[in-house]
């Protein structure tokens, strides 16, 4: 189909090329050969009278015109998909969709791993791409760079729909031979120990308990800063350091590593993990089906009471953090 001499089929190729900045990667995404993708790029260059992608050193980069086209092209395709295209009956066993999910390694380990194992049977032709957490995940969602965002609910946007998946609390984890963990740990001992913590991305986003501990106006002695949740266990083995971890992840790693976990010696609010999708995907049967599978798997793994909010002081702290995270700095 053509519109004012532009083959509209090329818009899909253009969107992927602008995102990947690579003919080979775009070819993989489009399920085309590199020669066919190169041909599409050539036709796009001819139509726009611009190179769009140019070689700089060993990498391809966007021209100024190419950068200008990113948002308009994505919005046009999203508009077509959400308002014009007639969605066929969704059949997971024959669906060949590529679903992009942004999630931490914690969420990947405790929920996505088993969910994707299950989906291999239910939707064998679907492909999934898990992206690590960006400094601004909402921007990635709104720009169409991801289809689903899995993170704590207070970090999500009020402009797009979301669904609660499960709740988790925190525990203190350390080497099985750490004398400080031979019994219940006191708050004084907790703050006196050396700690391993996690920070993310270029902006070094602090993990949840860092925000909470500032509320106590007591500083931990952080001796190691790790890049991921899953790197924490190995940094604890053979040391007297401890880490504050999500219970569901701690239960997994303590089951196959010489580690031990004990309760946190003070009230710390639980986290509520959720899935969010772009409002334009509310009628996307493929996306909604995947969300349903995540919901079902979370319920199966974590039980019927996963969605119940905590009462008392823990619940109040959770609500305070979710509505005003900055207050924990005061």
Percentage of the chain with pLDDT > 70? 82
* Range ranked top by mean pLDDT from 31-45, 53-67, 232-246, 272-286: 232-246
Higher pLDDT, 307 or 230: 230
11 and 75 in a single domain? The answer is yes
Q: State how many domains the chain has.
A: 3
Give the 3-state secondary structure of residue 175.
Answer: strand
119 and 232 in a single domain? The answer is no
Looking up residue 7, the CATH number of its domain turns out to be 1.10.10.10
Radius of gyration of the chain measured on its C-alpha atoms:
23
Is the confidence at residue 263, as pLDDT, over 90? Answer: yes
Residue 291: which domain range? Answer: 98-167+271-329
Q: What is the pLDDT of residues 31-72, one digit of tens each?
A: 888 888 898 888 888 888 899 888 888 888 999 998 998 888
Yes or no: say if 262 and 169 are a contact pair by the CB < 8 Å rule: no
Yes or no: say if 321 and 269 are a contact pair by the CB < 8 Å rule: yes
Per-residue b/e over 25-55, b at no fewer than 16 CB within 10 Å? bbbbbbebeeeebeebbeebeeebebebbee
183 and 235 in a single domain? The answer is yes
Q: Which residues pair with 129 in a beta bridge?
A: 100
258 and 177 in a single domain? The answer is yes
Is the confidence at residue 248, as pLDDT, over 50? Answer: yes
9 and 49 in a single domain? The answer is yes
175 and 252 in a single domain? The answer is yes
108 and 49 in a single domain? The answer is no
Q: What is the pLDDT of residues 131-160, one digit of tens each?
A: 988 778 898 998 888 999 999 888 898 889
209 and 240 in a single domain? The answer is yes
CA-CA distance, 150 to 133, in Å (whole number)?
9
Chain-wide mean pLDDT for the chain? 83
Q: What is the pLDDT of residues 178-214, one digit of tens each?
A: 999 999 999 999 999 999 998 876 655 556 666 666 7
CA-CA distance, 213 to 191, in Å (whole number)?
10
CA-CA distance, 132 to 201, in Å (whole number)?
9
180 and 160 in a single domain? The answer is no
134 and 149 in a single domain? The answer is yes
How many angstroms separate the most distant Cα atoms in the chain?
A: 75
Label residue 325 by pLDDT band (50, 70, 90).
Answer: very low
Which of 59, 84, 109 marks a domain boundary? 84
238 and 122 in a single domain? The answer is no
């Amino acid at each position: 189909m053509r519109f004012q001499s532009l083959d509209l089929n090329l818009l899909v190729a253009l969107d992927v090329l602008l995102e990947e900045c690579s003919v080979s990667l775009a070819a993989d995404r489009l399920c085309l050969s590199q020669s066919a993708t190169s041909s599409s790029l050539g036709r796009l260059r001819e139509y726009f009278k611009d190179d769009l992608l140019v070689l700089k050193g060993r990498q391809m980069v966007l021209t100024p015109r190419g950068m200008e086209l990113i948002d308009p092209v994505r919005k046009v395709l999203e508009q077509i998909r959400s308002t014009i295209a007639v969605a066929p009956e969704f059949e997971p066993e024959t669906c060949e969709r590529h679903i992009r999910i942004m999630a931490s390694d914690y969420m990947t380990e405790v929920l996505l791993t088993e969910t994707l194992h299950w989906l291999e049977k239910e939707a064998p032709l679907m492909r999934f791409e898990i992206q690590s957490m960006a400094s601004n995940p909402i921007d990635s969602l709104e720009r169409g760079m991801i289809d689903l965002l899995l993170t704590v609910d207070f970090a999500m946007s009020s402009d797009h729909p979301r669904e609660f998946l499960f709740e988790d609390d925190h525990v203190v984890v350390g080497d099985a031979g750490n004398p400080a963990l031979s019994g219940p740990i006191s708050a004084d001992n907790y703050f006196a120990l050396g700690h391993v913590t996690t920070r993310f991305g270029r902006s070094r986003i602090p993990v949840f308990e860092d925000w909470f501990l500032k509320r106590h106006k007591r500083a931990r002695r952080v001796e190691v800063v790790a890049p991921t949740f899953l790197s924490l266990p190995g940094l604890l083995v053979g040391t007297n350091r401890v880490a504050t971890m999500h219970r569901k992840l701690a239960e997994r790693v303590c089951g196959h590593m010489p580690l031990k976990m004990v309760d946190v010696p003070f009230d710390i609010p639980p986290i509520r993990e959720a899935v969010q999708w772009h409002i334009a995907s509310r009628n996307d049967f493929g996306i909604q089906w995947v969300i349903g599978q995540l919901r079902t798997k979370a319920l199966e793994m974590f039980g019927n009471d996963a969605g119940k909010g905590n009462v008392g002081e823990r619940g109040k702290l959770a609500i305070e953090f979710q509505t005003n995270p900055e207050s924990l700095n005061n």
